[in-house]
Chains A and B, each alone.
Chain A
Amino acid sequence: MKAPLAGVRLADFTIHAAGPFCTQLLAQLGAECIKIESKARLDAFRKPHAVYGRLSAATFDQVSVNKLSVRLNLKQPEAIALAKRLVSISDVTSESFRAGVMQRLGLGFEELRTVKPDIILVSLSSCGQAGPDSHFAGYAPLFGAWGGLGWMTGYTDGPPVEMRHVMDHSAGIHAAVATMAALHQRRRTGRAQHVDLAAREVASAMIGDALILASLGITPARPGNRHLSMAPHGVYPTCQPDRWLTLAVRNDAEWLALLRELDQPAVASDPRFATAPARLQHSEELDALLAQWLGACEADATAERLQRAGIRAHVSWSMLDIANDPHLRMRGATTEVSAPNIPPRAAVGAPARFSKTNEVGIRRLTPTLGQDEDYVFGELLGLSTAQRADLERREVIA
């Protein structure tokens, strides 16, 4: 049966990672996403990315799967007029410019509302549409730094740690959640909505508990891999180089089960480790013991054995493990994609499994620039071939 968001159309002005991740999620659930770009302002995946060590354009770009591509040179008034026509036939318009840019382009919320009275505009930015920092541009590590997540992450005796793409994409999921809520609101009330998502605020939401403590004058500590009530808890070496085992023992019963599985019955009577508070108090000694015991174990077999014994354990997986994992593949969380210019490779599939609206996931791969103009400009906007040729000649469509 069809996809849950079949029939929903997006006019997508977002670029880079966070905004496109949001619209990619909607597109994986069936929305029709029209990506509006131009050769003058190529999205990151269409260019080399030296800072990441990528020396050419990406052949496969996860965050543009399922998207249709059209070109519009937004420096031209006629392109703005066409952009507005796309907005007027779309349910949702998304953008990730710096605050104020859409208004300067003539595509601000109030302007768009005149062509689409029940518009849903989703603005995703680093710092939001208003506030003293709203003009700051940023990337994922800066979101984490501003929002406090970077400060709270790290070894207790070390520096803060930078967040990477997961921070962009987390902002994207939250934008997708808000987009869906706005769609429901429109269905119920028929009214327009402007969603303002600041990625740094998503980073702050990830330390919601620490912020509550801070509001009460308490200084939350940077815990590293430690947990405040579980011990042992952390990431431990195994007999294989750089093959780590993650372990979280939640209570005394699991602790005793762990000792049985690791064949350490004598330790069960050690008062230093008899209760959770005692284990927390002696966590350094405990971690040293675990490193010694697990250091003799094979990682994958141990994780399976511990799971069977009711203990939460998992190997620290690289992308090689993930690409080859049958569980993820069976769930559709990973899927194989290929095209004439793309040898078979693993990609991230549908974000959830639906019992009825199950036609979700990747339908098409990375669009070439402007590949869907016949459909979008021709069929949807009704432009003739001659009109489009003229617009191309004058670099409105470019």
Chain B
Amino acid sequence: MFIEDSPHAADLPLAGCRVIEHSGTVAAAYAGRLLAAMGAAVVMLEPPAGSPLRTAPPLLQDTGHSALFASLAAGKHSLVCELGSPAGRRMLDRQLENADILIDDTPLQEREARGLDRETIAARFPALVHVSVRPFGASGPKADWDGEEVNLLHAGGEGFLLPNGLCYELFPDRPPLKIYGHFSEYQGGAMAAFAALSAFWAAPDVGGQYVDVSVQDAVLAVGAFALQRFGDGSLEHRSTRHFRYGGVFEAQGGYVELLTLEDRQWSALVELLGRPVWAEEEALKDPLERSRRGDEINRHIRKWMLAQHVDDIVRGAQQLGVPAAKYRTPAEVIDGEHERARGLFAPLMLDERVRAEALVAPFQFLCTPLRAAERVPALGEMAHESPA
């Protein structure tokens, strides 16, 4: 299945691409992480005290390592650079002279003092792709607003719509709920990586340029379907944005996600349920009727699920072609047979002693497999490799 022509570093998709990353936010760091995973040489410029992400939770209790930073910095290089100082500015210049892409999330009002403003960079490094990644972008009336993940998920419209389904039914009076971790910032980071590579693609024709990426924009982009529904005349709300039937179900030993969108999947579900009398009613062969009577259908399915073991449900569903999945814990994911077979995880040294495992990349290149990052860079490690 896997086609390996000749896997070595020069064969990686982004071999030869040189990226300078100056990041204090997850979005910019994730952009750099994606590029590093595909073979770009990514240098993080860190202040003498280290990137604030080095101390961002979740932290390992005994060693203090940030699991978040480890997941974002794996495979990058670290160079300490005090951008406020003349020496730091010289170091920045040297780095940028040899770079293809700069990813920066410095707040706009601080950029000039650090030599990272758009005009200075464009004048000095006309071939450089300069990517700005800010919570609300670098232009527009709210460019100077700042935001953390919780603010951005809601500024982009998805936060207002969560939770839905079972969780909303159980807790209708609680405030809206965010997605775990840094979902919005990951979207912003992925969009920044996409925009960076697109501008880099155009560089032979137009040279370097400035690219303005906003995390809020990226959240809205992935939430585009809700804006489409708004244009159709429905304002989505978490109380009503549930599947008419299907969704999250509690079972013995865990939770199941079940979603049947096609008629054949509904028929297979009826089979899975053991052809109960209620499900064999002629009227329910009509998908519109099923939608109308979704609550009733879900009551039946819930009762059935509660009496079954999650693993049995999922196994049976898969045999019959019913789209169903177990809600897997992180431990189940990292030990997953499928993930292991695909090589999704690889050892990662958090320092010289602590060996964890981390996700290699959320995509594979079958002709030139990616190489797992082996370690998280120590602060300023590049000073020991090649004195700046």
The answer to whether A binds B is yes
Additional pairs, 8, CB under 8 Å, beyond known A132-B338, A247-B150, A248-B149? A130-B342, A133-B338, A161-B248, A170-B222, A185-B14, A189-B11, A216-B356, A333-B220
Distance (whole angstroms) from the CB of A327 to the closest CB of chain B: 4
Do B257 and A144 have beta carbons less than 8 Å apart?
A: yes
Asked if A225 meets B225 with Cβ closer than 8 Å, knowing A215-B357, A323-B230, A357-B206, the reply is: no
Asked if A314 meets B154 with Cβ closer than 8 Å, knowing A141-B259, A152-B180, the reply is: yes
Residues of chain A from 166 to 217 with CB closer than 8 A to chain B in the complex: 166, 169-170, 172-178, 180-185, 187-189, 191-198, 201-202, 204-216
Do A51 and B291 have beta carbons less than 8 Å apart?
A: yes
Do B175 and A237 have beta carbons less than 8 Å apart?
A: yes
Q: What residues of B have a CB within 8 angstroms of the CB of A314 in the complex?
A: 145, 147, 151-152, 154-155
Do B224 and A219 have beta carbons less than 8 Å apart?
A: no
Contact partner of A54 (CB less than 8 A), chosen from B165, B222, B232, B246, is B232
Residues of chain B from 128 to 149 with CB closer than 8 A to chain A in the complex: 136-137, 139-142, 145-149
Do B214 and A165 have beta carbons less than 8 Å apart?
A: no
Shortest Cβ-Cβ A-B pairs, 3 listed: A345-B231, A208-B71, A228-B57
Bound CA–CA A219/B367 (angstroms): 36
Q: What residues of B have a CB within 8 angstroms of the CB of A194 in the complex?
A: 3, 365-367
Asked if A180 meets B198 with Cβ closer than 8 Å, knowing A164-B161, A214-B330, the reply is: yes
Q: Which of A5, A184, A310 has the most CB of B within 10 A?
A: A184
B78 at the interface (CB under 8 A from A): no
B247 at the interface (CB under 8 A from A): yes
Contact partner of B363 (CB less than 8 A), chosen from A49, A136, A197, is A197
Q: What residues of B have a CB within 8 angstroms of the CB of A191 in the complex?
A: 5, 367-368
B17 at the interface (CB under 8 A from A): yes
Q: List 7 A-B contacts (CB under 8 A).
A: A21-B224, A137-B321, A176-B194, A211-B345, A250-B148, A330-B140, A333-B216
Number of A-B residue pairs, CB cutoff 8 Å, is 528
Asked if A149 meets B195 with Cβ closer than 8 Å, knowing A50-B287, A230-B148, the reply is: no
Distance (whole angstroms) from the CB of A161 to the closest CB of chain B: 5
Do B211 and A154 have beta carbons less than 8 Å apart?
A: no
Bound CA–CA A247/B151 (angstroms): 7
Do A224 and B330 have beta carbons less than 8 Å apart?
A: no
Distance (whole angstroms) from the CB of A46 to the closest CB of chain B: 14
A371 at the interface (CB under 8 A from B): no
Bound CA–CA A155/B157 (angstroms): 19
Do B365 and A178 have beta carbons less than 8 Å apart?
A: yes
Q: Which of B150, B165, B223, B245 has the most CB of A within 10 A?
A: B150
A328 at the interface (CB under 8 A from B): yes
Residues of chain B from 277 to 332 with CB closer than 8 A to chain A in the complex: 287-288, 290-291, 318, 321, 323-332
